[in-house]
A = this chain, B = another copy of it.
């Protein structure tokens, strides 16, 4: 085993990929520092190392861009992270809101084929326990057509697909109110006063804040995954 693990490099690439996916137009040092919760000086230093390794490009306007190599590497880490999460939930019976931190560690295990064997063992799952798609061996990621609950047509049936937020606080909340991927959801109405949402989830009626509604992403029932 190599003595330098380059865990950090992998975490930076993943963070950059996530910012890129979020549609952040100009990927700044400040945004990346905030996402990684690290000092901007640290991040600047590291980004320059990543540039030397040709994993990111620093554009003239000082914005940071993943190279194809960098993006590919990020997708490998995401693939590993999500497959380990499936393992933890399906095989070790963790709750789906408990596995993220462990997967943060496991995603860095270095091996040519461990993750592929894991995928086979798990029966080639398409989604992780949070409803996020798992990149295939070639790094291809399914693009989801999901929309936030705030954009749902009232009265129409939807299926919860995944979530825009991934914080522990939000996942714990979802666990508590029993909202998870695959469950049926319908918007019954919106309270004009605070823009909170009356929804049916499974067989229960409940009220969720606009903020929560914006972070639950759903698919129209019967749509292709």
Contacts and interface: CB of A to CB of B under 8 A. Distances in A.
Given A92-B121, A118-B92, A109 B111 contact: no
Interface stretch (A97-105, A176-184, A199-207): A97-105
A114 interface: yes
Nearest to A111: B102
B105 A92 contact: no
B104 A106 contact: no
Contacts of A94: 117
Contact of A109 (B91, B93, B105): B105
A94 B116 CA distance: 12
A157 B205 CA distance: 71
Nearest to A110: B105
Nearest to A102: B111
Interface string A79-101: 00000000010011110000001
Per assembly, the copies of the chain total 2
A155 B94 CA distance: 52
Contacts of A101: 1
B102 A114 contact: yes
Contacts of A7: 5
Interface in A106-124: 106, 109-111, 114, 117-118, 121
Contacts of A1: 101, 104-105
Interface string A1-44: 10001010000000000000000000000000000000000000
A91 B114 CA distance: 11
Nearest to A8: B3
Contacts of A104: 1
A25 B192 CA distance: 79
Contacts of A121: 91-92
B92 A117 contact: yes
Contacts of A92: 114, 117-118, 121
Q: Which 5 A/B pairs are nearest by Cβ-Cβ distance?
A: A92-B117, A105-B109, A92-B121, A91-B121, A102-B111
Given A92-B121, A102-B109, 10 more contacts: A1-B105, A5-B5, A88-B114, A92-B117, A92-B118, A102-B111, A102-B114, A105-B109, A105-B110, A105-B111
